[in-house]
Amino acid sequence: MSAQKQKAVCLTAYPKGLPTAENFDIRTADLPALNSGELLMRTVWMSVDPYMRGRMRPDVKSYIPPFALNEPLDGGAVSEVMVSNNPNFKPGDYVVAFQGGWKDYWVSNGDGLTKADGSIAPLSAYLGVLGMPGLTAWAGLTQILEPKPGETVFVSGAAGAVGSLVCQLAKIKGCKVIASAGSKEKCDWLLKEGGADVALNYRDYKNAGELTRALADAAPGGINCYFENVGGMHLEAALNCIAFGARIALCGMISVYNAKEPEPGPPNLSFLIARSAKMQGFIVSIYLHLASQFAGEVAPLLAQGKIRFRESVYESLEDAPRAFIGLFSGENFGKAVIRVGPDRL
């Protein structure tokens, strides 16, 4: 097995502002021989996610270590077991892991691997609606927002992997759903299939004041729950329209991930006090212990056709940098996934 080659995407320089193709390089290296308990994995699908941008900022303390320069990047992947020295897995098994992405072959000791059932959903879904983004959406909605039937839920970044599931779950729970996305195509899908009652194309609004007026028209009684994926004028507008006793789940703020200098906070945070509202940030890892509860709720809904999802599919490992950069320009629709190798199911 020592002759097995690995092709991997490496980070050659930490981005300053928006990442560019020049920050990445495709390199080939030998894989080590397998030891007892180890497996040779072939990556089939890999994921790119906005949180990875934070791992490209070595000067900022975060909940996860930064990527090392000139080393293979890492991320979520669905992989096929090719060779197994581990009794818990056999060749031909498909598994999901938080590692394995950004490379075509890799070696695992079996820790953190979860078997994927291709009869429930396409394998790529385990990187989206049934994977980390799905758990993020479900946890933020059910554990922080706790929406009640009849309440109004506002979701920014609503056409993404996380936001689109939040919209649909909130609608299933009997809420009015207001969604924000960045194109007419995305807004049309949200209205037709994505659970939204109102879909706002944020590109139609020049500032927080204009977005506030649109939100106020859509939610005359105020916003009871806000699932935050974007930040910037979305958070300011949501605070302007927040209802008494509202809850805000801070999942992400993609609008500031590539800022070269710290962005000023919204000027209306004091509305949280006057309206007795709660705002809580979270990361998905603190809810991993609820993964089986999440799967038990969402997988049947997916099987019944009550949950829909979209994917932006890229066709090779070489496309991974472009797919990642596309996260910050609105290029992707739904979950961005890269087909690294053939899926035999």
How do residues 165-191 score in pLDDT, each as one tens digit? Answer: 999 999 999 999 999 999 999 999 999
Mean pLDDT across 279-289 = 96
Kindly report the average pLDDT of the chain as a whole number. Answer: 94
Nearest to residue 118, comparing CAs of 303, 339, 334, 335?
Answer: 303
CA 105 – CA 82 distance, rounded (Å): 9
In a domain, 110, yes or no: yes
* Confidence at 60, pLDDT banded by 50, 70, 90: confident
Name residue 20's amino acid.
T
Same-domain check for residues 183 and 254 = yes
Condensed to tens digits (0 to 9), the pLDDT of residues 63-75 reads 888 999 999 999 9
Q: Left if phi > 0, otherwise alpha if psi is -120 to 50, otherwise beta: which for 195? A: left
- State the pTM of this model: 0.93
Q: What angle do CA 235, 240, 241 make, to 5 degrees?
A: 100
In a domain, 298, yes or no: no
Condensed to tens digits (0 to 9), the pLDDT of residues 37-51 reads 999 999 999 999 999
Q: Where are the beta strands (DSSP E) in 238-310?
A: 242-250, 278-281
Which DSSP string corresponds to 170-222?
HHHTT-EEEEEESSHHHHHHHHHTS--SEEEEGGG-SSHHHHHHHHHHH-TT-
Same-domain check for residues 167 and 250 = yes
Q: What is the DSSP letter of 334?
A: B
CA 281 – CA 247 distance, rounded (Å): 11
In a domain, 145, yes or no: yes
In a domain, 302, yes or no: no
pLDDT at 319 over 90: yes
More confident residue, 65 or 154: 154
In a domain, 295, yes or no: no
The residue segments making up the domain with residue 121 are 5-128+309-339
Condensed to tens digits (0 to 9), the pLDDT of residues 210-236 reads 999 999 999 999 999 999 999 999 999
* Confidence at 2, pLDDT banded by 50, 70, 90: very low
